[in-house]
Amino acid sequence: MGLTIHYSFKTDTEQAFEAYQLIERLHQFALTLPFMQVNSIVELNENEVQNTDATDPLLCLKIHAAKTKIVDFEIDKIYPISLIGFTIYAAQGCEELDIFLGRYSDSHIWEAHSFCKTQYAALEEYGGILNFIKVHTSIVLMLDEAQKLGILEEVVDESHYWEDRNLKKLIEEIMIWQGLTSEVGEILGEISRNSSFNYLN
């Protein structure tokens, strides 16, 4: 739960070096934006992607890289055979932004599907609305760059800023989301204090 921007990349290449060049272009562009930290590009094989633990700094990237399919009512995860990408710590309160391309066993091309929750960058302890605006608009600029490179397949921006590019509407939208989140938090607090809900514990 929380305002999120979803995105997918799709290339027409089967070549790893071409996928690397695309990621390298995005990496160079990311360094021009006001992100907290842009990490180095990594190249991983299937075993490396699946080898994770809680202390792995690439854990979120690896989780996001797995495609999910439902087969016979069971969730099946498809990990990339190869992955090229990098992680961005965009701002305090914002989820990690993963920029990558993967090649999967069910496809010959390089592609990616991921998301980044930006809402909690708007919390006062992280800088409030201005912090949120900075990070959300920067992520949109990253996706603009992917579009220029011809690899952006789809964007679903729950704030609708991707479509209308209206800062006033973006501010109004995050204020609505923050109000809703506060209300939900208050209700959850009441539930935790009410003994009639002990069966939930």
Residue-wise pLDDT for 25-50, tens only, equals 999 999 999 999 999 999 999 999 98
Radius of gyration of the chain (CA): 19
Query: pLDDT: is 91 or 108 the higher one?
Result: 91
Which pLDDT value is given to residue 199? 43
At 48, list the tokens: 């490396």
The Cα 109–Cα 77 span in angstroms is: 18
Q: Which residue has the tokens 């990339």?
A: 80
pLDDT tens sequence across 50-65: 888 888 999 999 999 9
What is the Cβ-side half-sphere exposure of residue 33, based on CA atoms within 13 angstroms? 24
Contact predicate 170/159, CB 8 Å: yes
Which pLDDT value is given to residue 182? 56
- % of the chain exceeding 70 in pLDDT: 89
At 131, list the tokens: 């912090």
Contact predicate 39/88, CB 8 Å: yes
- % of the chain exceeding 90 in pLDDT: 66
pTM of this structure: 0.86
Which pLDDT value is given to residue 71? 67
At 153, list the tokens: 């397949």
Asked if the model's pLDDT at residue 112 lies above 80, the reply is yes
